Structure 1
Amino acid sequence: MPLQADSTGAMPQTLLNGALRLRTLTDAGTTTVNEYATSTGRIVAYAWQGPTMPDLQALLGPYAASYRSGAAASTASGNLHASRVVRPDVIVESGGPMRGYVGRAWLPSALPAGVAADDFR
């Protein structure tokens, strides 16, 4: 699912005293995806909200296999409307009713000092 930059053409926002840069994208399903990158350009998190789930394979890239492995292990006790997959290299939280999906994914070991998961919305 290709992502497109926000139609407003806005420049990435700098957050948390320069620790992160936020870029807002929209996927083909019109879900808004916030991309969080360090000052060096490394993407460390995504947060999304919209009518469809984003393509996690595309967002997670090399971390997608780890996520899938964790998701498969947790489906037996999973909640129908929410999930949280915690792996050493990636954490993914998602939920919401149909056409009201929200979630976030981040690389815990790559977060800059002073940045926490609650900063990703």
Structure 2
Amino acid sequence: MTVEGLAGQVNQQVERVRETYEALNSIESTMGSSDGMISVVVGPQGQVRDIELDPRVYRKLSATELADAIMEQINRAAAAVSEQRRHLLEPLMPDGLRYDQVFGENVTLDAFLPSPVDPDV
């Protein structure tokens, strides 16, 4: 492979990473309850951006039920955002490194570190 060919590949990868980064920053998920009383919007980092409540919800649900219903929609929206992130980032993962090793719930440094060296070898 020529230097020009390698440079072209590097430039393509850089552009792909830029596009992915831009797409990551625009991820958003809106979830609403089946009765239409509750709607939430979650942004790219899982942050709640908006909560909309139909005024009738206060007559329909107790405070505890309302809190639970809001949390259910937030969790659904956050899971959808997480899946969108996975879809965007998995193609960029290096060979031998899985998405969940880097971004999963129980991430450790093991995925990034070499195996221990035996000093007797």
TM-score by length of 2: 0.23
> Normalized per residue, which structure has more helix?
2
TM-score by length of 1: 0.23
**Higher radius of gyration, 1 or 2:** 2
> Normalized per residue, which structure has more strand?
1
